[in-house]
Amino acid sequence: MSSVEKTPNMIEDCLERIATIHGDPTDLVYERLFDKHPDMRELFILDRDNSVKGNMLAQVIECFLDFTGDKHYASSLIATEKINHDQIGVPPETFETFFTNVVDTFRHILGNSWTAEDEAAWDNLITELNKSVASQ
């Protein structure tokens, strides 16, 4: 029986480093989002316990991991959520803004330990995910 060498998943590795350094990044992701896009704060006016924010970020991270892995559902889920969010007045381009904010926050958390490989992996992920969702 031959062993199969697993290719390192730079996104997964980066997320593990973030968890080790910072723990749950939800508060920082949304703090940075609202600083740059204060108009988005009103979208979460009913989220008094931050559970919606936490759930939304967790789903996005799960989609990132799926998209870098087996690609079972990420593109379809994001495309569906764009439609669902459009129904409540959230324009589709908000997703790309959110994805970019998440990556910017991760870069901030990792600081000097953010590598050129991290940058390339995240840039590729966001570019390819946006293309995939746009083609649906």
- Across 90-111, average pLDDT: 93
Tell me the one-letter amino acid at 90.
V
Domains and CATH numbers, the chain: 10-134 (1.10.490.10)
Q: How confident is the model at residue 130 (pLDDT cuts 50, 70, 90)?
A: confident
Q: How high is the pLDDT of residue 27?
A: 95
Per residue in 28-77, pLDDT (tens digit) is 999 999 999 999 999 899 999 999 999 999 999 999 999 998 889 998 99
Rounded Cα–Cα distance for residues 42 and 119 (Å): 31
- Across 14-30, average pLDDT: 96
DSSP 8-state class, residue 23: S
pTM confidence score? 0.89
How does DSSP assign 52-89, residue by residue? Answer: HHHHHHHHHHHHHHHHHTT-SSHHHHHHHHHHHHHTTT
Work out whether the CA dihedral 107, 9, 77, 93 comes out positive or negative: positive
